[in-house]
Each structure stands twice: as structure tokens, then as C-alpha cells.
Structure 1
Amino acid sequence: MKFAPEYVTYVLNENFEDAKELFLAPLMAIHYAHLAMLAAQGIVSAEDAHRIREALDSVSLDDVRRAKYDGSCEDLFFYVERLIVDACGEDAAGRLHTARSRNDIDMTMYRMRQREFILGLLAATFELRRSLLDLVDRHRETVLAVHTHTQRAQPTTVAHYLLAMVEQLERDGVRLQGAYDRTNRNPLGSCAITGTGFPIDRQATSELLGFCGPTGNTYGSIATVDYLLESTSAASVLLVGVGRFVQDLLLWCTAEFDYMRLGEGYVQCSSIMPQKRNPVALEHARAIGSKALGQAMAIVTAVHNTPFGDIVDTEDDLQPLVFAMFHDATRAVKLVGAAMTTAQFDAARLEARAGDGWTTLTELADTLVRDHGLPFKSAHGIASRLIAARARDGKRPLSELLADASRDVLGSPLEYSEAQLTEILSPRHFVNVRKTPGGPAPEETARAAKASRHQLEADDSWWTNATNALADAERKLADRSASL
């Protein structure tokens, strides 16, 4: 079959180059695993299996990667098949394709690469969690004001804020691990859509290729893309969360906030303004992460409303986008994690500013409730009147203003000394009394940080086991193939 030059230029050539980069190694592994299974099941004779294995061994991956598409075959599969035929003859080579199709080969290749992408992104989240937990350990006592609705709200600590991000990343880890488990299932043996009449062993190929086990329904093994959408969705949630965090960090690095300072390796100066210290590493992380999120949305859009079956929309043209999305997502997360290892906070300066704008006034209302048994709404009203009175008269002692405000609400004054009010309205006091589970009190953030360290160790152990399982399967496949 001679393909039209436009089809060659705009489709086949592009797909050939993409496949060489992304799928050559998985394709060869599938060939070896399928051959070993066919031989073990007696579907291919030992003599033919040996000849095919030697032919597979003769395929130079470097030569294939250097090959230019010449239109003489449809895709990488047929290009490699021609090399196998040249090495062992049509009769033997033709037996390798017994009980399989390009359909199940493709879906198996996609899942093999997909699981690598998931593990790579997951490892990047570990690096970010580790860098944030190191900061948490150094800044449990570092008080700062945080914002709601972009306005100064209440004091907390750097540790408390960062632990919120750590916990979100932990949930991202749960989502990615779940996506990995459902991705790491083997479609090989599903053939075109209905399986085969040959007595194949799908569990055997699953073990040789590092899968947890075979997929179920053979039609769904070819038709479904939910495993891809699940990992894409998990990556999207991660990217949105990290992007919001990065936006805060960029604000914190402004002269107006001046909460945080990055190390010299992650900032750049201006070509004209020598005073500038631009946190460009975080800007790049935001841009790359936004790009990856857009790619994730494009993946969902590309498969939306496509037929539930074997269809090219989910195949050659889509896979480079999947690779690009995970690649960009991973480098964005890694960049934030690396930059945060250099983050510095001026604890004394942050605490000195933490009480500005009446950020601790909730604690005054809480104190009135605790000390006098007031309804919180009444205490809130007294605190509100106190602010208004201070705005009208900035010289009267706060204790007198509070007495007047409480008299207006309750009919009688509540008496506090200036020293008592200074303590009640202190940002550090505000933080220290908030021992709620998950709160900012240093002993509580210490407990939370310890729990997050343990969770990181457990997640890292899961990741190590998963990667070791893939490496073990690769060695097992090499040994089994060599014995043919």
C-alpha cells in the first residue's frame, strides 16, 4: 500500500518519530514477553521460539532510533516486524503475532509508559513534601499574619501554613497511587477486542512485564481510557494545588509582603534595574504548571465523545500530549521543591507585623466568652465597637475604650488592664492557645509534622516497592528470554 504524501508528512512521519522516542523499549519488551508465553504454552515450538528470540536480539535499538521514516511501512510496529522477518524468516517471525493484535500491544505500551510517568510525578511530590517539612521543623515558632479574601485575617505560623500544603500533597499521593494501581494492569491477550481461542497465559505476560495482573473484559481493555483520565485528573488536582501555593509564595517574595526570600540560585536580576531580585524560578514553575494543566484539559477534551472502542483519538496522536503533560507537571513540582530548600523567613520581622490590622481581635472576643460566659455574638459586638472607638480616639488607653464598649453592649463595663490586653492581643498568645487538632500551636504542628514524616516514609516505601517490582520484572524477562 502506498500512502499519500500528505498523510505521510502530517501523520505517519510524526507518529513514527514519537513512537521511537516513547514506545520502542516497551514494544520490544512486549515482543519478548509474548514470545516467552507462547513458548511456555506450546503455541510456538522451542525451535521457532529460539529463532525468534535471536531475531529480537539482533534488533539494534540505536539503529531503529536513527531510522528515518520512508513510507515503506505504516508505523514502528511494522518497521520492527520487518527487521524480525529479515533476521529469522517469514515463517518463524509470523508466529510471534499469534494471539495478539496491534490493539492490545498499543494499549499495553501506553500503560507501561503511563505507570512510569505516574511514578515520576509522585517522586517529585515527595521532594516537595520533604523540603516543606524541613521548613516546618525550623519555623514552628515563626509567627506571621495570613489572609482571607486577600485581606489580613489572623496570625498563624509558617509551619502551620506549610503543613496545610503538605497534607494536600499527601492526598495527591493517595490519588496518584490509586491511579498507578489501576493503570498497572495488563491488556495483552485482549487482541483486537475479543481475546483469542489460543490457550494463552495472561498472568504470565503480566508478571514478565511488571503488571499487577491482567485487565478484565477484553473489549474494555482496548476501549477504555478511564485509567488515563484518572491519572490525568490526579495530576490536574496536584497542579491546581501547587499553582495556588506558588501564587502565595510569589506574593510573599514581593517588597510589599517581604515574608520570604529565595536563595541566589533561584532569582535573577534585571538587565536595567540593578536593585531587582526577581523570584523567576517560581514564575517558571507557575508557567510550566499552567501549561501542564492546559495539556491535561486537552487530553480530556481529545477523548471526550469519541466512540467506546478502538479509535485513533486515544492512540498515536494523543500519547505525545500525555508525555508532555506529565513531563511538564513533574518539572514544575520539582522546581518548587528545589527552590523551597533555599527559602528564608525573617522570624522577628514577621512576628512584629503579625498583629497589624487587629488580626488578633478574635482572641479578645474568645477571652470575653471564656472569662464572663458571654454569648460569642455579644463578645463580637464589643470587639467591633472597640475597633471603632480606637479609630475615633487613638490616644485613650485601650482598657478604657473596652470598658466603654462593653458598657454599651452589656450595660456594665468589663475591666482589663493594659498589660492584660497586650497579652490577649499578642500574636504569639493567639497562636499558642490554638491547640485545636490541626491548629497552629507549636506542640500541635510538631505532632502533625511527625505524622507527616511517617506518612512520607510510608509513601516512599510504597514507591520503592513499585519501582523495584518493575526492575525485578525486567530482570525476570531478560532471564526468561535468554533461556529460549
Structure 2
Amino acid sequence: MKFAPEYVRLVLNENFEDAKSQFLSPLMAIHRAHLVMLAEQGIVSPGEARAIRDALNGIDPAQVRCVQYDGTYEDLFFYVERLIAAGCGEDTAGRLHTARSRNDIDMTMYRMQQRRMILALVDGTTRLRRVLLDLAAQHREDVFPAHTHTQPAQPSTIAHYLMAVVEELERHAVRLQAAYASTNRNPLGACAITGTGFPIDRARTTALLGFDAPTGNTYGSIATVDYLLESVSAATGMLTGLGRVVQDLLLWCTSEFGYLRLADGFVQCSSIMPQKRNPVALEHARAIASRAVGQASAIVLTVHNTPFGDIVDTEDDLQPLVCAMFRDAARAVRLVSAALEGAEFNTARMAERAAQGWITVTELADTLVRDYGVPFKAGHAIASQLVAGSRQDTAGSLSEALTAASERVLGRAVTIDEVTLARILSPRYFVEVRTTPGGPAPSETARAIEESEKRLTCDYAWVSETTGRLDSAEESLDAALTAL
């Protein structure tokens, strides 16, 4: 079949370039695994199996990736098929396509590629968590003003903030691992959409290709993309959270805040302003993450409102976008990790800001409740009046102002001496008494770090073991192919 030049230029050439760079390796593995299964099931003869094997082994992936598309063949599958035929003859090569279709080949190929990308993203989140946990351990006692509604709210610690990020990343890792489990199912054997009458062994190709199990319904094996949407959703959630954190970090890098200083290798100078230290690494991370979120939205919209079956909307035109999204997601995560690894917090500046703006006064209201039997609403009102009065009379006695405020609110005097008041209003005291599980007290943060270290160890193990299973499957496939 001769294709129209415009169709070749606008569609087939683009798809061929994407396929040879992204899907050649899984395609070749599928050919090999299917051949082993056909031979073991007696569907092809031993001689035919060896001839096809030798033809497959004779294909140089590096040369295939250098091929320029000329429109002779529809896509990468047919191009490789011609290479196999050139190596073992047309009739023998034709045996390889017994009991399969491009439909189940494509779906298998996409899942194989996607699982590697999910694995890389989980690995990236573990690396970021490692950096954040190290920073949190260094800054358990370093206070800074936490903000609500973009305004200084209460003192917290750098570690408390970072552990909030760590715990969110932990949840995203769980979601990504669940997405991996949904993705790592083998559609091979579903053929066009109804399976086959040949006595194939789907469990065998499942093992040889490193899948956890075969997919179920053969129609759904070809038609469904929920595994893809689950993965994209998990990645989008992670990227959205990451983007919010990067926004904070960039704000902290401003001279107005001055909380964070990136290492020289992650900033750039202006072409005209010699004094500039632009935190461009974080800006790039934000932009890359945003682009990945945009790609994720495009993936969902591409799939939305399409027929439930085999259709190119979920194949050649979609899968490169999936690859780009996961690649950018991993880039963003790794860039933030690298930028933070050598970054420094200006702890003195942060502590200074934590002592300003009366952001510790909640503790005064709490103390009035705990130690003086004052109802919280009344304690809140007393503290509020104290703040309002002190802003008008900065030189006055806080102890006297508190006594006056309590008389107005309660009709009786509550007296606290200046030294005790200073301690109550200290940012460090504020943090130290907040031993609520999950709170900023250094002792509680230490416990949280210890628990997160355990979860990180488990996730490191998951990445290592999952990678090992895939590598082991490749070795088993090589051995089975050699044994034909």
C-alpha cells in the first residue's frame, strides 16, 4: 500500500520516530517472549523457532534507531517484521505472528514502557525524600514563621515544614506503586480483541516479560486505558504538590524573605545586573512540573469521549505524550532534589522573623486557659486586646497591659510577670510545648523523622526489588531464547 505523501509526513514519519526511540526495546522483547512461548507450546517447530531467533538476534537496535522513515512500511512493527523476514525467509518469519495482533503487541509494549517510567518516578521521589529528611534532621530546632493565607501565623520549625512535604511524597509514592501494580499486567494473548483458538500460554509470556499477571478480559485488554489514567493521576498529584513547595522555596529565595540560598551551581547571573543570583534551577523545576501537568491534562482529554475499543487515539498519537509527561515529571523531581541538596537556610533570619508580629500570642491565650482557668474565647479576647494595645503603646509594660485587658474582659485581674510573659511569647517555647502528634516540637519531629526513615527504607527496597524482578525476567528470556 502506498501512503499519501502528506500522511507520511504529518503522521507516519512522526510516529515512526517516536516508536523507534521509545518502544523498540519492548517490541523486541515481546517478539522474543512470544517466540519462546510458541516453541514451547509446539505451535512452531524447533527449526522454525531457531531460525526466527537467529533473525531476531541479527537485528541491531542501534541501526534501527538510525533509520530514516521513507513511507515503505506503515510503522516500526512492519519495518522490524521485514528485517526478520530478511533474516529467516518470508514463510518462516510469518510463523512468529501466529496467535497475536498488533493490538495486543502495542498494549503490551506501552505497559512495559510505562512501568519503567513509573519506577523511575518513584525512585526520584525517594531521592527527594532522602534530601528532605537530611535537612529536617539538621533543622529540628530552627524556628520560622509559618504562614496561613499568605500572612505570618504561628512559629513552626524548618523540620516541621519539610516533614509535611515528606509525608505528602510518601503518599504519592504509595499511589505510584499502586499504579505500577495496575500497569504491570500482560495483555499479550488478547490478540485483536477476542483472544485466539491456538493453545497459547499467557502465563509464560507474563513471566518472560516481567509482568505480575496476565490481564483478564481480552476485550478490556485492548480497550481499557484506566491503568494509564491511574498512573497519570498519581503523577499529577505528586507534581501539583511539588509545584506548591517550589513556589514557597522561590519566595524564600527572595531578598525580602532571605530564608534560602541555593548553591552557586544552581543560580545564574544577569547579563546586565552583576549582583543578581537568580534561583533559576527552581524556576526550571516549576516550569517543567507545570508542563508535565499540562501534558497529563492533554492525555486525559485525548482519551476522553473516544470509543471503547482499539483506536489510534490511545496509541501512536497518545503514547509519546505519556512518555514526555513521565520524563518531565522525573526531571522536575530530580532537579528539586539536586537544588536542595546544597542549599542553606538562613536560620538567624528565620528566627528573627518568628519573633516578630505577635505570632506567638496564641500560646498566651492557651496559657490563660491551662494555668488560669480562663475560657478560651475570653483568653483569645484578652490576648487580642493585649496585641492591639501594645501596637499603640510599644514602650508600655506587657504585664500591666495584660492585667488591664483581663479586667475588661473578665471583670477580674489576671497577673503574669514580665519574665514569664516573655517566656510564654518566645517562639522556641511556642514550638517546644506543641508536642501534639505531628506537631513541631523537636521531640515529636524526631519521632516523625524516624518513622519516615523506616518508610523510606521500605520504598528503597520496593524500587530495588521491582527493578530486580524486571532484570531477572530479561535474563530468563535470554536463557529461554538460547535454549530453543
Q: TM-score, normalised by structure 1?
A: 0.99
In structure 2, the residue matched to 1:38 is: 38
**Which residue number in structure 1 is paired with residue 313 of structure 2?**
313
2:252 alignment counterpart: 252
Deviation larger for 294-303 or 389-398:
389-398
Are 2:152 and 1:152 aligned? Answer: yes
**1:377 paired residue number:** 377
Distance 1:254 1:90 in 2: 67
2:239 aligned partner: 239
Amino acid aligned to 1:130? R
Displacement of 1:349 in angstroms is 2.8
Structure 2 unmatched ranges of 5 or more? none
**SS of aligned partner of 1:198:** coil
Secondary structure of 2:146's counterpart equals strand
| Correspondence 1:76 to 2:48 | no
Deviation at residue 72 of structure 1 after TM alignment: 1.4
Task: Output aligned runs, 1:106-255, within 5 Å.
Answer: 106-255=106-255
Paired amino acid for 2:296: A
Superposition pairs for residues 328-407 of structure 1, below 5 Å? 328-407=328-407
Q: Which residue of 1 aligns with 2:270?
A: 270
Q: Within 2, Cα distance between the matches of 1:199 and 1:7?
A: 39
Give the % identical residues.
67
Quick one: distance in 2 between partners of 1:71 and 1:389? 82
Residue 458 of structure 1: aligned partner: 458
Quote the Cα distance in structure 1 between the aligned partners of 2:69 and 2:265: 43
Q: Once structures 1 and 2 are overlaid, which stretch shifts more, 95-104 or 369-378?
A: 369-378
Alpha-carbon offset, residue 346 of structure 1: 2.5
C-alpha deviation, 1:414, in angstroms:
0.4
Secondary structure of the residue aligned to 1:154 is strand
Measured in 2, the distance between the counterparts of 1:86 and 1:276 equals 61
SS in 1 for 2:155: strand
Quote how far apart the aligned CAs of 1:348 are. Answer: 2.7
Q: State the secondary structure of the residue aligned to 1:147.
A: strand
In the TM superposition, structure 1's runs of 4+ consecutive aligned residues that sit over 3 Å from their partners are: none
Q: CA RMSD in A?
A: 0.8
Instruction: State the AA in 2 paired with 1:308.
Output: F
Deviations, residues 238-264 of structure 1 (Å, cap 9, x unaligned)? 000000000000000111111111111
Deviates more, 1:423-432 or 1:351-360: 351-360
State how 1:317-328 maps to structure 2 within 5 Å: 317-328=317-328
Tell me which residue corresponds to 1:413: 413
Does residue 22 of structure 1 match 2:7? no
Distance in structure 2 (CA, Å) of the matches to 1:136 and 1:109 = 41
1:4 aligns to 2:4 (yes or no): yes
Q: Using the alignment, how far apart are the partners of 1:72 and 1:147 within structure 2? A: 62
Task: State the TM-score, normalizing by the size of structure 2.
Answer: 0.99
| One-letter amino acid matched to 1:217 | N
Amino acid aligned to 2:231: S
Runs of 5+ consecutive residues of structure 1 not aligned to the other structure:
none
Distance in 2 of aligned mates of 1:352 and 1:17? 57
For residues 132-170 of structure 1, what are the alpha-carbon distances to aligned partners after superposition, in whole Å with 9 as ceiling and x for unaligned?
011011000101111000000000000000000000000
Displacement of 1:352 = 2.3
Aligned counterparts of 1:136 and 1:157: Cα–Cα separation in 2: 9
Q: How many Å separate the matches in 2 of 1:270 and 1:55?
A: 57
Distance 2:348 2:247 in 1: 24
Q: Matches of 2:388 and 2:445 in 1, distance apart? A: 35
Q: Distance in 1 between matches of 2:47 and 2:150?
A: 74
**Structure 1: distance between partners of 2:388 and 2:354:** 20
Secondary structure at 1:377's aligned position in 2?
helix
TM-aligned CA deviation for residue 373 of structure 1: 1.8
Which residue of the partner structure matches residue 299 of structure 1? 299
Single out whichever of 342-351 and 314-323 deviates more from structure 2: 342-351
Question: Once the two structures are superposed, what CA deviation does each residue of 1:97-152 show, in whole Å capped at 9, x if it has no partner?
Answer: 11000000000000000001101111111111011011011000101111000000
Size of the aligned set, in residue pairs, is 484
* 1:274 CA displacement: 1.4
Supply the distance in 1 between the matched residues of 2:435 and 2:329 (Cα, whole angstroms): 36
Looking at structure 1, the residues matched to 289 and 374 of structure 2 have their Cα atoms a distance apart, in angstroms, of 49
SS in structure 1 opposite 2:153? strand
Cα deviation code 1:45-81 (max 9, x no counterpart): 1111111111111112122112111211111111111
Counterpart CA distance in 2 for 1:283 and 1:429 is: 36
Amino acid at match of 2:309: G
CA deviation after TM superposition for structure 1 residue 343, in Å: 1.6
Asked if residue 472 in structure 1 is aligned to residue 468 in structure 2, the reply is no
| Secondary structure in structure 1 of the residue aligned to 2:74 | coil
Whole-Å separation in 1 of the counterparts to 2:27 and 2:160: 48
Quick one: distance in 2 between partners of 1:172 and 1:6? 43
Q: Is the 8 A contact 2:258 2:349 kept in 1?
A: no
In 2, distance between residues paired with 1:12 and 1:174?
A: 38
SS in 2 for 1:445: helix
Q: For 1:306-346, what per-residue CA distance to the aligned partner results, in whole angstroms no more than 9, with x for missing partners?
A: 00100000000111111111111110110000111112122
265-274 vs 16-25, which deviates more?
265-274
Q: Equivalents in 1 of 2:376, 2:245: separation in Å? A: 33
Match of 1:324, SS state, is: helix
The one-letter code matched in structure 2 to 1:71 is G
